[in-house]
Amino acid sequence: MKQGIHPKYELVTFECVCGAKHQVRSTGEGRKLDICSDCHPFFTGKQKLIDAAGRVEKFKQRYAQFDKSDS
């Protein structure tokens, strides 16, 4: 390999908003993550259902007239 043309491959820290820190090797620098394996629902088994805008209620109100019991 040629000398001096390859980026440094060093240990960096990635920090999640949940507070978890993961050390990995990378050519870049550490970053802040929005979600990681410690807080992602797939890995934790806990599903988070966030409906801040009330979309489910709006949907139910809009389509309440098409109730199955009327058939």
Query: What is the per-residue pLDDT across 5-64, written as a single tens digit (0 to 9) for each?
Result: 999 899 999 999 888 999 999 999 888 988 888 888 777 777 766 666 778 788 888 888
* pLDDT value, residue 69: 61
SS (H, E, C) 41-58: HHHHCCCCCCCCCCHHHH
CATH class of 10-62: few secondary structures
Q: Do strands 21-26 and 10-16 pair parallel, antiparallel, or not at all (unpaired)?
A: antiparallel
